[in-house]
Structure 1
Amino acid sequence: MSAIIASPTSKAATPRRRPLAAALLVALALPGMAFAQTAKEKELEARVAQLEAMVKQLVSQQQQQQSQISEVKTAQATAPAAPVAAAAAAPVTAGAVAGNPPAPAKPTIQTAPIMATANPGTRFSYGGFIKLDASLTKTNDGDIPDGTVGRLFYVPKTIPVGNGRTDEGGSDTDMGVNFSRFWFGADTDLDSGDKLKAYLEFDLFGGGSTAFTGNEIATNTYALTLRQAYVQWNNWLAGQTWTNFQDIAALPDTVDFLGPTEGTVFVRQAQLRYTSGPWSFSMENPETVYTPFNGNMAQVQGDDGAAPDFTARYTFKGDWGHFSAAGLVRQLAYQNGPLNQDSDSMGYGLSVSGKFNLGKNDDIRYMVTGGSGISRYLGLALNNDAVLDSTGDLDNIDMVAGFVGWRHVFSPKLRTNIFYSRADYDQDTALTGLLITKGAQSGHVNVIYTPLPKLDLGAELIWGQRELENGDRGDLNRLQTHVKYNF
Structure 2
Amino acid sequence: MTGINKFTRVLLLSGTMLVTVPALSANAQTVEDRLNKLESALDKILQKLDNQGSKLTEQETEIVNQAKRITKQEKMVSSAPAAAGGKQADGFMVGSTNIKIGGYVKLDTMVSHYSDGAPASGNLGRDFYIPSLTTVSPTGDGQTVTDFNPRETRLKISTSTPAGDSTVSTVLEMDFQVTSGGDERTTNGYSPRLRQALITYDNWTFGQGWSTFQDVSALAENLDFIGPAEGTVFVRQSMVRYKNGPLEIAIEQPETTVTSSAGARVLPGTDTIPDVIARYTMKSDWGHVALAGMLRSLSIDQGTLGVPDDDSALGYGVSLSGKLKVADKDDFRFMVTAGEGLGRYIGVNLVNGAAVNATGELETIGTISGFASYRHFWGEKSRSNITFSYFKADNPVAFTGTGVTDTSMSIHANYIYSPVPKLDVGIEYMYAERELENGLSGNMSRVQFSTKYAF
The TM-score with structure 2 as length reference comes to 0.81
- Which of 413, 424, 435 aligns to 1:445? It is 413
Q: Deviations over 1:14-35 (max 9, x none)?
A: xxxxxxxxxxxxxxxxxxxxxx
Residues 78 and 299 (structure 1 numbering): CA distance in 2 closer, same or farther, change over 3 Å?
closer
- Tell me how far 1:362 sits from its aligned partner: 1.4
- Tell me how far 1:289 sits from its aligned partner: 0.4
Give the alignment's Cα RMSD to 1 decimal: 2.0
Contact 2:92 2:99 in 1 (8 A): no
1:193 aligns with 2:165: yes
Q: How many pairs are equivalent?
A: 383
Could you say which residue in structure 2 is the equivalent of 1:182? 155
The one-letter code matched in structure 2 to 1:321 is G
Counterparts of 2:68 and 2:387 in 1: how far apart (Å)?
57
1:314 aligns with 2:318: no
- Tell me how far 1:343 sits from its aligned partner: 1.0
Could you say which residue in structure 2 is the equivalent of 1:135? 110
Runs of 4+ aligned residues of structure 1 deviating over 6 Å after TM superposition are none
- Tell me how far 1:336 sits from its aligned partner: 2.9
The one-letter code matched in structure 1 to 2:262 is G
Could you say which residue in structure 1 is the equivalent of 2:403? 435
Contact 1:413 1:450 in 2 (8 A): yes
The one-letter code matched in structure 2 to 1:185 is S
Q: Deviations over 1:441-461 (max 9, x none)?
A: 000100001112211111110
1:204 aligns with 2:172: no
Could you say which residue in structure 1 is the equivalent of 2:434? 466
The one-letter code matched in structure 2 to 1:263 is G
- Tell me how far 1:470 sits from its aligned partner: 1.1
Contact 2:92 2:100 in 1 (8 A): no
- Tell me how far 1:80 sits from its aligned partner: 4.1
- Tell me how far 1:315 sits from its aligned partner: 0.2
Q: Deviations over 1:398-453 (max 9, x none)?
A: 01000001000111210000010000001211111111100100001000011122
Could you say which residue in structure 1 is the equivalent of 2:5? none
Counterparts of 1:207 and 1:432 in 2: how far apart (Å)?
30
- Equivalent positions of 1:295-306 (< 5 A) are 295-296=262-263, 298-306=264-272
- Tell me how far 1:472 sits from its aligned partner: 1.2
Residues 341 and 71 (structure 1 numbering): CA distance in 2 closer, same or farther, change over 3 Å?
closer
Counterparts of 2:247 and 2:278 in 1: how far apart (Å)?
7
Secondary structure of 2:132's counterpart equals helix
- Tell me how far 1:276 sits from its aligned partner: 0.5
The one-letter code matched in structure 2 to 1:73 is E
Contact 1:206 1:223 in 2 (8 A): no
Counterparts of 2:148 and 2:169 in 1: how far apart (Å)?
36
Residues 78 and 382 (structure 1 numbering): CA distance in 2 closer, same or farther, change over 3 Å?
closer
Could you say which residue in structure 2 is the equivalent of 1:336? 302
- Tell me how far 1:471 sits from its aligned partner: 1.1
- Tell me how far 1:81 sits from its aligned partner: 3.1
Could you say which residue in structure 1 is the equivalent of 2:388? 420
Counterparts of 2:272 and 2:60 in 1: how far apart (Å)?
66
- Tell me how far 1:303 sits from its aligned partner: 2.7
Could you say which residue in structure 2 is the equivalent of 1:117? none
Note the residue ranges of structure 1 that are not aligned, 5 or more in a row: 1-66, 87-110, 115-119
Contact 2:276 2:295 in 1 (8 A): yes
Counterparts of 2:63 and 2:187 in 1: how far apart (Å)?
57
- Tell me how far 1:391 sits from its aligned partner: 3.1
Could you say which residue in structure 1 is the equivalent of 2:128? 153
Secondary structure of 1:336's counterpart equals coil
Contact 2:223 2:414 in 1 (8 A): yes
Contact 1:415 1:448 in 2 (8 A): yes
Residues 133 and 84 (structure 1 numbering): CA distance in 2 closer, same or farther, change over 3 Å?
farther
1:82 aligns with 2:69: yes
- Tell me how far 1:68 sits from its aligned partner: 6.7
The one-letter code matched in structure 1 to 2:268 is G
The one-letter code matched in structure 1 to 2:101 is Y
Secondary structure of 1:478's counterpart equals strand
Counterparts of 1:112 and 1:301 in 2: how far apart (Å)?
44
Could you say which residue in structure 1 is the equivalent of 2:99? 124
Counterparts of 2:203 and 2:243 in 1: how far apart (Å)?
5
Counterparts of 1:73 and 1:188 in 2: how far apart (Å)?
32
1:355 aligns with 2:323: yes
The one-letter code matched in structure 1 to 2:173 is E
Counterparts of 1:233 and 1:305 in 2: how far apart (Å)?
28
Residues 76 and 403 (structure 1 numbering): CA distance in 2 closer, same or farther, change over 3 Å?
same
Contact 1:134 1:481 in 2 (8 A): yes
Secondary structure of 1:183's counterpart equals strand
Counterparts of 1:198 and 1:441 in 2: how far apart (Å)?
37
Counterparts of 2:146 and 2:62 in 1: how far apart (Å)?
70
Residues 151 and 74 (structure 1 numbering): CA distance in 2 closer, same or farther, change over 3 Å?
closer
Structure index of larger Rg: 1
The one-letter code matched in structure 2 to 1:271 is M
- Which of 347, 361, 377 aligns to 2:345? It is 377
- Equivalent positions of 1:257-336 (< 5 A) are 257-292=225-260, 294-296=261-263, 298-336=264-302
Residues 414 and 69 (structure 1 numbering): CA distance in 2 closer, same or farther, change over 3 Å?
same
